[in-house]
Chain A
Amino acid sequence: MSVTSVEPRSTSAPTGSRLELAGVSRWYGNVVAVNDVSMSLGPGVTGLLGPNGAGKTTLLHMMAGFLAPSRGAVTLDGAPTWRNPEAYRRLGLVSEREAVHTFLTAYEFVLASARMHQLPDPAEAAHRAIALVELEGAQSRRIGTYSKGMRQRARVAAALVHDPQVLLLDEPFNGMDPRQRLHMMDLLHRLGGAGRTILFSSHILEEVEQLSGTVQVMVAGRLAASGDFRTIRRLMTNRPHVFAVRSTDDRALAVALMAEPSVTGVELGQAGLTVRVSDYGAFTRVLPKVAPARGIRVRQLVPEDESLESVFSYLVEA
Chain B
Amino acid sequence: MSTVSWITARGLLGRRRFLLLFPLPVLLVLLAVLSRSLGVDPGEWGPPVLVGLGLAVVLPVIALIVGTGVLGAEIDDGTVVHILTKPLPRWQIVLPKLAVAAGVTAVTVAVPLYVAGVLASSVRVGLALAAAASIGALAYCAFFLALSLVTRRPVLLGLVYVLIWEGLLGNFVSGTKVLSIQQYVIALADRFAPTELLATDVSVPVAAVMSTLIAVGFTALAVDRLRSFSVAGETS
Contact = CB atoms under 8 A, between A and B. Distances in A.
B87 interface: yes
B156 interface: no
A67 B231 contact: yes
Contact of A92 (B7, B78, B85, B236): B85
B22 interface: no
B228 interface: yes
B36 interface: no
Contacts of B229: 66
Contacts of B90: 85
B234 interface: yes
A68 B6 CA distance: 30
Interface string B1-32: 00110110011001100000000000000000
Q: Is the interface of B mostly helix, strand, loop or mixed?
A: loop
A67 B230 contact: yes
Contact of A113 (B10, B77, B86, B231): B86
Nearest to B79: A99
Interface stretch (A4-12, A49-57, A242-250, A279-287): A49-57
Contact of A67 (B6, B11, B85, B233): B233
Contacts of B228: 68, 83
A172 B124 CA distance: 60
B194 interface: no
A176 to B, nearest CB: 18
B234 A57 contact: yes
A100 interface: yes
A116 B10 contact: no
9 contacts: A61-B233, A68-B230, A86-B87, A88-B87, A99-B81, A99-B82, A113-B82, A117-B87, A158-B82
Interface of B: 3-4, 6-7, 10-11, 14-15, 77-79, 81-90, 227-231, 233-236
Given A57-B236, A83-B227, A86-B87, 16 more contacts: A53-B235, A67-B233, A85-B84, A85-B87, A95-B78, A97-B78, A99-B81, A99-B82, A101-B7, A101-B82, A103-B10, A104-B7, A112-B6, A113-B86, A155-B82, A158-B82
